[in-house]
């Protein structure tokens, strides 16, 4: 699972790992969903029900791909992102998202690759937190610890992140 604040290199690392390891990728569903919400002024609005729709679609996509694959599956994001997004934006998270996240973390062997925020910000109409990436990164750390999830911090260049991720994933595949 790739996770972390906006514009921290999750998608870049996910695609690079998929190519290198010939593994399927669960894409970030939110991007496609929110692209449909952009108005003529490149503004978008979303509400709590939108986050629940995104979470449901993300979980459905992940489940479909995981059920077809017996080994490694890479996820550009998962429900942890939506938990944090919900709590930051609305002050709480829908119980379905929390319950489903807890269920998925118990069902499947997961390792989180937490992407560090110390990379240049890439502007995008769907991004909204350029000034709070460090704060959000710390929220990810807190949540990973709170849920007692297995994770590795991905820092440095794309190549350094790639090398570490491959090392970690190969090690995880051997031990499981």
Are the beta carbons of 63 and 108 closer than 8 angstroms? no
Q: pLDDT per position in the chain (176 positions), as tens? A: 999 988 788 988 999 999 988 899 999 998 888 877 765 556 667 789 999 999 999 999 999 999 997 688 999 999 999 999 999 999 999 999 999 999 999 887 899 999 998 876 576 656 566 677 899 999 999 999 999 999 999 999 889 999 999 999 888 776 55
Are the beta carbons of 10 and 76 closer than 8 angstroms? yes
| Widest distance between CA atoms in the chain | 51
Residue 172 token pair: 């995880």
For the chain, which residues make up each domain, given as ranges? Answer: 2-175
At 100 the pLDDT is 97
Question: Which CATH code for domain 2-175?
Answer: 3.40.50.300
Other C-beta atoms closer than 10 Å to the C-beta of 91 total 8
153 contact partners, CB below 8 Å, separation of at least 6 = 114, 116
Residue 86 token pair: 């919900």
Residue 171 token pair: 């090690």
At 96 the pLDDT is 98
Are the beta carbons of 10 and 161 closer than 8 angstroms? no
Radius of gyration of the chain (CA): 16
Extended beta strands in 42-129, E state = 74-75, 112-115
């Amino acid at each position: 699972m790739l996770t972390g604040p906006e514009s921290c290199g999750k998608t870049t690392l996910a695609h690079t790992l998929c190519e290198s390891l010939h593994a399927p990728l669960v894409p970030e569903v939110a991007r496609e969903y929110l692209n449909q919400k952009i108005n003529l002024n490149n503004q978008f609005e979303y509400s709590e029900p939108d986050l629940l729709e995104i979470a449901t679609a993300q979980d459905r996509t992940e489940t479909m791909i995981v059920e077809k694959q017996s080994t490694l599956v890479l996820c550009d994001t998962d429900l942890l992102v939506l938990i944090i997004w919900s709590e930051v934006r609305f002050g709480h998270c829908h119980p379905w998202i929390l319950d489903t996240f807890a269920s998925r973390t118990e069902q499947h062997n997961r390792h989180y690759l937490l992407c560090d925020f110390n990379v240049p910000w890439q502007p995008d109409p769907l991004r909204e937190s350029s000034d709070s990436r460090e704060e959000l990164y710390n929220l990810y750390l807190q949540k990973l610890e709170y849920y007692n999830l297995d994770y590795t911090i991905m820092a440095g260049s794309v190549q350094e992140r790639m090398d570490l991720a491959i090392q970690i994933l190969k090690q995880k595949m051997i031990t499981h």
